[in-house]
Amino acid sequence: MKKISKLCISLFVIIALIFIGIKVSNKQNAKADQTKITYVKKKGRTTKVFNVPAFEKINVNINKARLNKRFINLKVSTGKSFQVKATGPDAKKIKATVNNKSLTISSSHSISKGRYNVSVTVPNSDALQSVTGYSYGSDIKLHKLNLNNIQLAAIYGDVRLYKIKTNQLKLRQVSGNFSATDSTINNSTLTSDTGNTVIDTCKFQMNAKYSDVYDVDIEGSKVLGNSSFALHEGDLTMYDSPKIGYNLSCNKKNKIKFFGKLHSNHFERTISNKPMFTVKTNKGDIHIFD
């Protein structure tokens, strides 16, 4: 009987210890999943800092923020930790939540008028897989990140990429500029109405279509695969142009200048095993410089 009693007591102690361990572990996990938020108010501007759990994806959901003079700009870059920092006259109404390792940035419809800046940092350039979503009246800047894909509908706002590597880019703009600097952009599509495109010191493959007034400037860049730019009204200018194939077309009233020589409204050159760079503009000039 004594042996049985001792055995029962031992089993009870073991079960109790396991239960306590699970409870402590759950508390620790719960704490780890909680976003810590701090506020600082100074000279009419509020700063809201979210120390968030680790995330692999960013979902942008800034809906019609430009209405009634509301502007929310977003920057995603490398930093010390996973963190979101919002500043502006009513930053308390900027929201940042993490669910299933996905960070969602959004704002309340009742947010006060003014300019807001939202800065998102991740601890290293490989921490993120993707940036996707919708923004209205927002400038979006992505700095020093290696991504699988970028898919954005940026309505009324600029998009800037700096030292970005991405396997896929899908961007829809209505009015805004697009720029890429020192970046590698594969399998990319860009659709826009008005604004300008600047591609500087990049490696890229892109199919772009512009339905209104738009200029394109490309400098010191390498074309990775067959690419096309279709412009309704605007000029395309390329400096330090690579030795690849070109298929260039413009209106009879405009001109094509290819490595110092003027051509009529169509010029084509193919090079075996090299990408083809196709440009068509209805109202604009095409300049390809060496």
Q: What is the pLDDT of residues 45-96, one digit of tens each?
A: 889 999 999 999 999 998 765 556 678 899 999 999 999 999 998 888 899 9
| pTM of the complete model | 0.86
137 — pLDDT class (breaks 50, 70, 90): confident
* Closest C-alpha among 150, 137, 134 to residue 183: 150
Give per-residue pLDDT as tens, 272-283.
999 999 999 999
Helix%, strand%, coil% for the chain, nearest 5: 10, 60, 30
* pLDDT score, position 199: 98
CA separation (Å) from 155 to 71, 72, 158, 223, 271?
12, 12, 9, 27, 38
Q: Can you tell me whether residue 25 is helix, strand or coil?
A: helix
In the predicted model, is pLDDT for residue 3 greater than 70?
no
Alpha carbons 155 and 172: distance in angstroms, whole number = 8
